[in-house]
Amino acid sequence: MNENTHEVNKLKEVKLFLGPQHPGMHGNYSVHMYVDGDIIKKTRPMPGMLHRGFEKLMERKLWMSNTALIPRICVIEPDINEMVYAMGVEALCGIEVPEKAHWIRMMILEMARVATHLFALGGIGGPTGIYTSMYWAVAERDLILDLFETLTGARVYHIFIVPGGVRKDLPDGFLGELSEYLNTLEKKLPDFQELLLKHPVIHARTKDNIMLPASVVHDLGVTGIGMRSATGTPYDLRKVKPYARYDQVEFDVPTATYSDALTRIHIKFEEIKQSIRILKQVIEKMPNTTDVKVPFDKGNALKWKVPAGMIYTAVESTRGEYGYFIVSDGKEKPYRIAVRGASYPQGLLGIEKYLPGHRIDDAPLWMDTMGVCSPEIDR
């Protein structure tokens, strides 16, 4: 654990601002850096550009109305918000969701995972200059968004997973379309992998660079790909604490023991392949019933109440453990909801302690491969 008590040498070091607009796709995030030549000596993270006050806002809206606000907390992967909120409310109310709803939720979460991983891989294009990856990735993601549009009615903020189930049943022919898309994606992945993982520029920028040692992982509390690539342990919430029928599908959790940026990019590709594997099993095993939602209280939605209690629910997002801590006092509005952003540890303390020592051009790449997503830090 190296304390950054570096004294700034005003004659030698220059103060630079990274962001809030910067190459890479992690949202508006600013870092004040003191650089000596090309090497960063000291950093100060400056979050808060995307602070929208969600935690206070959620205390003032009905339980059902909140479902429209929460997708906006993590912009890139909105479905995990809906999922943890629904899991928390259902556990407090003590209701059981219909079987088909579990499978549809799993399908949505995995589709969101593929889309977000593609987005992150595309985001490498900015810092490294390989814009081809951005075009390919965003185009593939667009086709997933088309599928979401057919299923839920909106492309980015789906507002589809609600406490009690999902909002509507699958439209006709959806599983066939999804299956077709997965086949085309599988055919394109090898080219995409070759583009990024065999590229000499990427090798120069990421191999043996931006390391994440195992001790750092434990000190900071990093989860997700960061933890799995550094410690080699398959600690994934889908395996350790399965939710929504993850215990009924087969998949592997890719791990590594040497965590440089190249390994983490490689793991992202492996995770996309595992998600495709899960999706194919979901398509096969989707139940044929029509029951997909139960109300979680009696009466109409303006009057639904949740029994008092405090609960923490978490899911595995692309960046790690993402959770909500929900406190209810038995009324129609939540009493307190606290959001645990998956990239909170690496986005704040990680930048302060472990970014110094890298080069300036590594800073956006650091944020991209470590998985920093600023909307969920700022809420």
Least distance to another protein, CB of residue 60, Å: 8
For residue 213, is the peptide bond before it cis, meaning its omega torsion is within 30 degrees of 0? no
Which listed residue (220, 249, 276, 278) binds another protein by CB under 8 A?
A: 220
Tokens of 185: 């994606």
Amino acid 68 reads: A
Determine how β-strand 336-340 pairs with β-strand 309-316. Answer: unpaired
Least distance to another protein, CB of residue 248, Å: 14
Write the CB contacts of 351 (distance below 8 Å, at least 6 apart in sequence). Answer: 31, 43, 45, 366, 367, 372
Place of tokens 């931006």: 210
Q: How many Å apart are CA 144 and CA 156, to the nearest integer? A: 10
188: left (phi over 0), alpha (psi -120 to 50) or beta: alpha
- Does 68 interact with another protein (rule: CB under 8 A)? yes
Least distance to another protein, CB of residue 113, Å: 20
Least distance to another protein, CB of residue 37, Å: 27
By beta-carbon proximity to another protein, the closer residue of 136 and 366 is: 136
By beta-carbon proximity to another protein, the closer residue of 62 and 283 is: 62
* Only segment of 76-84, 270-278, 306-314, 355-363 that touches another protein (CB under 8 A): 306-314
User: Do residues 100 and 287 lie in contact, with contact meaning Cβ atoms separated by under 8 Å?
Assistant: yes
Least distance to another protein, CB of residue 302, Å: 5
Least distance to another protein, CB of residue 237, Å: 8
Name the H helices within 124-244: 125-128, 131-152, 174-197, 200-206, 214-220, 225-231, 237-240
Counting every residue, how long is the chain?
379
Tokens of 79: 């479905």
Which listed residue (10, 11, 21, 53) binds another protein by CB under 8 A?
A: 53
Name the H helices within the chain: 54-58, 79-93, 99-123, 125-128, 131-152, 174-197, 200-206, 214-220, 225-231, 237-240, 261-285, 344, 351-354, 362-370, 374-378
User: Do residues 127 and 333 lie in contact, with contact meaning Cβ atoms separated by under 8 Å?
Assistant: no
What is the footprint of another protein within residues 256-285 (CB under 8 A)? 262, 266
Determine how β-strand 30-36 pairs with β-strand 39-46. Answer: antiparallel
Total chain residues near another protein (CB under 8 A): 82
Q: How many Å apart are CA 163 and CA 39, to the nearest integer? A: 49
By beta-carbon proximity to another protein, the closer residue of 189 and 360 is: 189
- Does 16 interact with another protein (rule: CB under 8 A)? no
By beta-carbon proximity to another protein, the closer residue of 286 and 360 is: 286
Q: How many Å apart are CA 339 and CA 349, to the nearest integer? A: 17
Q: How many Å apart are CA 224 and CA 368, to the nearest integer? A: 14
> Per 3-state DSSP, what percentage of the chain is helix, strand, and coil (rounded to 5)?
50, 15, 40
Least distance to another protein, CB of residue 159, Å: 5
Which listed residue (314, 363, 370, 372) binds another protein by CB under 8 A?
A: 314
By beta-carbon proximity to another protein, the closer residue of 41 and 266 is: 266
What is the footprint of another protein within residues 149-178 (CB under 8 A)? 149-154, 157, 159, 167-169, 171
Which listed residue (1, 10, 173, 187) binds another protein by CB under 8 A?
A: 1
What is the footprint of another protein within residues 238-257 (CB under 8 A)? 240-241
Q: How many Å apart are CA 123 and CA 119, to the nearest integer? A: 6
Least distance to another protein, CB of residue 276, Å: 18
* Only segment of 102-110, 217-225, 250-258, 365-373 that touches another protein (CB under 8 A): 217-225
Tokens of 323: 């959770």
Which listed residue (4, 28, 32, 61) binds another protein by CB under 8 A?
A: 61
By beta-carbon proximity to another protein, the closer residue of 11 and 172 is: 172
Which listed residue (92, 118, 261, 363) binds another protein by CB under 8 A?
A: 92
Amino acid 213 reads: P
Which listed residue (140, 260, 316, 376) binds another protein by CB under 8 A?
A: 140
What is the footprint of another protein within residues 192-211 (CB under 8 A)? 193-194, 197-200, 203
- Does 48 interact with another protein (rule: CB under 8 A)? yes
